[in-house]
Structure 1
Amino acid sequence: MSSIGITRTDNISRAILLTIITIIIFGIQDAISKFLVQTYSPFQVTMMRFWGVAAFSLILVLRQAPLRQALSSGAPGWQLLRATLLIVEIWCFARALQTVPLGELQAISLVYPLLVTLFAIPLLGEKVGIFRFTAVGVGFLGAMVIVRPGGLPLDWGLFFAVLSATLYSLYIVITRKVSQYDTAATSMAYTGIIGLLLSSVVGVFFWQPMSWTDVALVFTMMVTTCAGHGLMVFALSMAPASVVQPFNYFSLPWAIFLSIVVFGQWIDGIALIGGAVIVGAGLVVMARERQKRTTVAAATAMPGTE
C-alpha cells in the first residue's frame, strides 16, 4: 500500500497541550475501567473498550483507502502478532486494574520505554551502549522499589501489571519493525480487525448483564477511547514524537491524583520514589536516543558523504 504524502506544519506548544489532554482522557478511561472490573470480567470490559478502538481505527483507515487495499501487508505475520499482543496486553492491564492501585500500576507501566530499548536489540538489530544499559538497569531498580516486600501485595494483579508493560513494549518494537514494510493505515487496519475479533470471541463467554449506569460508563469509555486516540494523532501531526513523548510521564501524577480522589487509594512515599526513578531513567533513555538520531542525521547531511 503506497504512502500518502502529508505536509506537516509543526506547532510544538499545541502538540504538547494536546498530549497532556490525551493523558487526562486516558487516565479517566483507566479509572472507569478500574471501577467496572470490580463487578464485570476484564474480558467483557476489554471487549467493549476495544469496540471503540476498532471503530476509531477503521474509520481512519477507510478515509485513506479501501479496506482490502489497507490489509495488503508486506509482513502479515508480524502484523498479526502485533495486533494479538495489543489485545492480550489490554486484557492483562484490565486484570491488573482489579487489585493494583492506579498510581502504582501507572508507575509500573512506565517501564515500557526501557523494555523497548532492550527488545529493540534482537528484533530491530539496534545497538545499545553502556550508557543506555545503565539507565535501563536503574529504571528496573525503581520498579523493584515499588514492588518491594511489604509494598504491593504479591498477587496475580502485580504479575499482570508487569506482563502488560512487557507486552506493550513488544508491541511498540514490532510496530517499528512493520513500519519498514507497511503504512500506518495498514497497521491500524490489522489492529482494529484482529483486536475486534479476538476481544469479542473471548469476551462473549464472560458476558454479564449490565445496569444502565454501567452501560453509560462503558459508552463514556468508548467515546474517550476515540477522543484520546484522535487527539494523539493530531498531536503527532504537529510535532515529532520525540518532542511530545516525555510529556507522557504526566500520566503518573495524574494516575496518583485519580487514585486518591476516586478510589481513596494513596501511593506510599517509597513507591513514589520508585516511580520517580523510572521516569528519570526513561527520560535519560529518550534523550540519548534523540541525541543519537540527531548525530546520525547530521552525519548523513554532511556535504560529500555518500
Structure 2
Amino acid sequence: MSITPPNSGNNISKGIALTLISIMIFAVQDVAVKMLVTDYPPTQVVMIRFWGVAVFTLVWVMREGPIRNAFRTKKPFLQISRGVLLVLDIWCFSAALQFMPLSDLQAIFMLFPIVTTLFAVPLLGEKVGIFRWSAIGVGFLGAMIIIRPGFQEVNIGVWFQLGAVTTFALYTVLTRLVSRHDSTTTSVVYMAAVGVVLSTAVGIFNMVPMTLNGWLLMALVIVTANVAHTLFTMAYREAPASALQPFNFLILPAAIIMTVIFFGHWIDMISLFGATLTVGAGLFVWWRERQKEREAKRSALKQVPIR
C-alpha cells in the first residue's frame, strides 16, 4: 500500500491553501447540517454522516492496497481518542444548531484557536508567556460579551457550542501530534472507524424516516465532510499549527455570509464586537508565536561559528 510518510511540517504555503479550502467546504457543510437538524435528531444526522464517511474511506483505502495496512499506527490510543473527540464535537455542534443561528455559533467558535493554544501547552510542549496569557484572557472576555451571562438567559446552544470548541481544539492538537508518526491515510481511517462505531451505538436508537430532500442534504454533508476533514488533516501535516491558526478565523465571516444568504439572519453588533475581541486576541497569540520563532532562528544563526 502506498502511503505518504509523515511530513516534517515545513510547507507553510500548501498548509495555508489547504486550510482555506477546508474552511470554505466546512461553511457549506454547516448550512446543510442546520437545515437537517431542524427536522431530524442530531444523533441520526451524525450517524448517517459517518456511514457515508466510512464508505468513501473504505473505497479510497482499498484502491491503494490492503485495508489492514492503513490500520497500522504507532499511536493507537491517540488515534482512537482523536476519533472519539471528533464525534463529540459534531454531536455538540449539531445540537447547538437547533437552538442558535450559525453566525452566532461561529462567533463563539472563535475561541477555538485560543483553547487550542491552552491544550498545546501540556500536549505539544509549547510555552506560553505573559503576553499570550493576556491575549487568552482578552479572548475569553470577548466570549463572555457574546454569551452575556447575567444580562440575558444563556441559550442551551451556547453550552453545546462550548463543548464543541473544547473537543475540536483537543482533536486539532491530537491531529498535529499523530501526524508526526502516522500517515494521513491512517488518521482518516481511524477517524472513520471510530466515528461509525460510536455514532451508530447512539444514533441507531433514535431514527426518524427521511424525505428525498433530507437524503439529498445528507449526501451533501457526507461529501463535504470527507473532503474537508481530509484537507484539514493534510494541512496540519504540511505546516505548524501556529502558522495555520490565524486562518481559522475566516470561519466567522464565512458563517455570517452563509447565514444571511440562506437564513436571512444578521449577527447582532454586541456579539460581533465580542467576536472581534476574540479574533484579535487569537491573532495576537499567533503573532507572538511567530515572533518567538523568528527570534529563535536568529539566535541559532548567531551561534553558528564563522569559518
Q: CA 1:93 to 1:210, structure 2 compared with 1: closer, same or farther past 3 Å?
A: same
- Identical counterparts, % of pairs: 45
Look up the equivalent residue of 1:4 and give its one-letter code. Answer: P
Aligned CA-pair RMSD? 3.2
Correspondence 1:49 to 2:46: no
Indicate the residue corresponding to 2:140 in structure 1: 140
Q: Displacement of 1:17 after TM fit?
A: 6.1
Q: CA 1:223 to 1:75, structure 2 compared with 1: closer, same or farther past 3 Å?
A: closer
1:190-205 superposed matches below 5 A: 190-205=190-205
Look up the equivalent residue of 1:113 and give its one-letter code. Answer: P
Indicate the residue corresponding to 1:91 in structure 2: 91
Indicate the residue corresponding to 2:220 in structure 1: 220
Indicate the residue corresponding to 1:303 in structure 2: 304
Structure 2: distance between partners of 1:7 and 1:134: 31
Q: Displacement of 1:154 after TM fit?
A: 1.5
Q: Which moved more, 1:267-276 or 1:236-245?
A: 236-245
Indicate the residue corresponding to 2:5 in structure 1: 4
Structure 2: distance between partners of 1:180 and 1:11: 16
Indicate the residue corresponding to 1:176 in structure 2: 176
Q: Gaps (5+ residues) in structure 2?
A: none
Structure 2: distance between partners of 1:32 and 1:59: 24
Q: Which moved more, 1:235-244 or 1:201-210?
A: 235-244
Structure 1: distance between partners of 2:157 and 2:164: 10
Q: Secondary structure at the match of 1:210?
A: coil
Indicate conservation of the 8 Å contact 2:243/2:290, yes or no.
Answer: no
Q: CA 1:94 to 1:274, structure 2 compared with 1: closer, same or farther past 3 Å?
A: same
Q: Displacement of 1:235 after TM fit?
A: 6.5
Q: CA 1:15 to 1:117, structure 2 compared with 1: closer, same or farther past 3 Å?
A: closer
Indicate conservation of the 8 Å contact 1:58/1:192, yes or no.
Answer: no
Look up the equivalent residue of 2:246 and give its one-letter code. Answer: P
Q: Displacement of 1:29 after TM fit?
A: 1.1
Q: Displacement of 1:192 after TM fit?
A: 1.4
Indicate the residue corresponding to 1:38 in structure 2: 38
Q: Displacement of 1:177 after TM fit?
A: 3.0
Indicate conservation of the 8 Å contact 2:82/2:175, yes or no.
Answer: yes
Structure 2: distance between partners of 1:239 and 1:77: 24
Q: Displacement of 1:226 after TM fit?
A: 2.8
Q: Displacement of 1:280 after TM fit?
A: 1.1
Q: Which moved more, 1:52-61 or 1:266-275?
A: 52-61
Structure 2: distance between partners of 1:114 and 1:3: 30
Q: CA 1:61 to 1:7, structure 2 compared with 1: closer, same or farther past 3 Å?
A: farther
Look up the equivalent residue of 1:108 and give its one-letter code. Answer: I
Look up the equivalent residue of 1:210 and give its one-letter code. Answer: M
Look up the equivalent residue of 1:164 and give its one-letter code. Answer: A
Q: Displacement of 1:91 after TM fit?
A: 0.4
Structure 2: distance between partners of 1:271 and 1:110: 11
TM-score (norm: length of structure 1): 0.85
Look up the equivalent residue of 2:293 and give its one-letter code. Answer: R
Indicate the residue corresponding to 1:166 in structure 2: 166
Indicate conservation of the 8 Å contact 2:22/2:231, yes or no.
Answer: yes
Indicate conservation of the 8 Å contact 1:146/1:152, yes or no.
Answer: no
Indicate the residue corresponding to 2:263 in structure 1: 263
Structure 2: distance between partners of 1:76 and 1:279: 34
Q: Gaps (5+ residues) in structure 1?
A: none
Structure 2: distance between partners of 1:249 and 1:279: 7
